Amino acid sequence: MSFNRLLDTKVKEIEVILENHLPTDMSFQKTVGEAMNYSVRAGGKRIRPMLMQEIFIANGGKSKALESFMTAIECIHTYSLVHDDLPAMDDDDYRRGVLTTHKKYGEAMGVLAGDALLNYAFELVAGAFGLVPESEYIKVVKAFEILSRKAGVFGMIGGQVCDVEAEKAQVVLDKDQILYIHEHKTAALIQASMMIGGVLAGCDDAYIDKLERAAYDIGIAFQIQDDVLDITSTFEELGKPIGSDEKNNKQTYVSIYGLDHAKSEVERLSDEAIFLLGVSEDDFLCQLILYLIDRNK
């Protein structure tokens, strides 16, 4: 099967898993439930649950906790997009090709749907203890710790704080500062995805460290490519307006180092990740990494 068909099949399978885990049976709070499900169902590449699943499978994983964590990471990622689109942050009207959550449900419901998705992610992983035998609790605890750390103040939220402050202050960022923001805002959730896939499959600490390093490279390359696409892509392909970095006076790797250097850095980082993971070009994981950094949406 071609890579594109396989990718399509895997995305559809992941969407079934997400659908089976989304909140149902809402009562008086059903509007927020609808807003949560609207945001998740709006689509997206599903790369975080996919990377988690691929690492898990490649390492012979069997745990029944996997699907809870796959849904949890997509809920956390989706909440971050919902909040990032709010008027207090980037104030965007479109995401994933449809109206942003606050544009569709109002600002208060946008805030609450994001909050609820974040909390729901942890409800799911807490529930995973009920799905595995006691001998597997240690894996679930480790995965829980990684998820909470990489999504929190020492991970994605920390990166977003620096990004927001840098944008407001309009100071010129140096390479270390840009990389710090990319590492925390973007790479942290990709690291969590790959590390959790490894932890649930029972990989040892040395291999989890290697996954963390490879995911750092993939995350930075992914973010640089995102900045490239903000200049070179179209609304139709991206599902949101292009040029938003310039509109928000956001400094990016591309605005500081130029398109050519940014593109060669994406290539260098992805080569390094593929080397660290030891995957060959026939492996789906290798092709997935190349697709992520060479994507047009």
Give the one residue of 185, 203, 208, 277 binding ligand GRG; rule: CB under 6 A: 185
Q: State yes or no: residue 84 binds ligand GRG (CB under 6 A).
A: yes
Q: State yes or no: residue 160 binds ligand GRG (CB under 6 A).
A: yes
Of 63 and 186, CB closest to ligand GRG:
186
Q: How far apart are CA 210 and CA 197, in angstroms?
A: 13
Region binding ligand GRG by CB under 6 A among candidate stretches 80-88, 207-215, 248-256, 260-268: 80-88
User: What minimum distance in Å lies between the beta carbon of 274 and ligand GRG?
Assistant: 19
Please report which helix (H) or strand (E) contains residue 95, including its range. strand 94-95
> Which ranges in 170-283 belong to alpha helices (H)?
175-182, 188-200, 205-232, 235-238, 244-247, 253-257, 259-277
In whole angstroms, how large is the CA radius of gyration of the chain? 18
**Binding footprint of ligand GRG, residue count (CB under 6 A):** 15
Other beta carbons less than 10 A from residue 48's beta carbon = 23
99 SS3 class: strand
Of 63 and 80, CB closest to ligand GRG:
80
Q: State yes or no: residue 157 binds ligand GRG (CB under 6 A).
A: yes
- Give the contact letters, 211-250, x = binds to ligand GRG (CB under 6 A), - = no: ------------x--x------------------------
Does residue 129 contact residue 137 with C-beta atoms inside 8 Å? yes
User: What minimum distance in Å lies between the beta carbon of 110 and ligand GRG?
Assistant: 11
234-270 as b/e, with b when 16 or more CB fall inside 10 Å? eeeebbbebeebeeeeebbbbbeeeeeebbebbeebb
Q: State yes or no: residue 80 binds ligand GRG (CB under 6 A).
A: yes
Q: Which residue is nearest to ligand GRG (CB)?
A: 44
Region binding ligand GRG by CB under 6 A among candidate stretches 21-29, 101-109, 156-164, 247-255: 156-164
Any bridge partners for residue 94, and if so which? 99
Q: State yes or no: residue 191 binds ligand GRG (CB under 6 A).
A: no
Interaction with ligand GRG in 26-65: which residues (CB under 6 A)? 44-45, 47
Q: How far apart are CA 286 and CA 279, in angstroms?
A: 6
Of 146 and 156, CB closest to ligand GRG:
156
Q: How far from chain centre, in Å, is Cα 146? A: 14
Does residue 228 contact residue 147 with C-beta atoms inside 8 Å? no
Please report which helix (H) or strand (E) contains residue 165, including its range. helix 156-169
Region binding ligand GRG by CB under 6 A among candidate stretches 32-40, 60-68, 81-89, 172-180: 81-89
Q: How far apart are CA 270 and CA 63, in angstroms?
A: 29
Of 63 and 193, CB closest to ligand GRG:
193
Q: State yes or no: residue 81 binds ligand GRG (CB under 6 A).
A: yes
Enumerate binding residues for ligand GRG (CB under 6 A): 44-45, 47, 80-81, 83-84, 96, 156-157, 160, 185-186, 223, 226
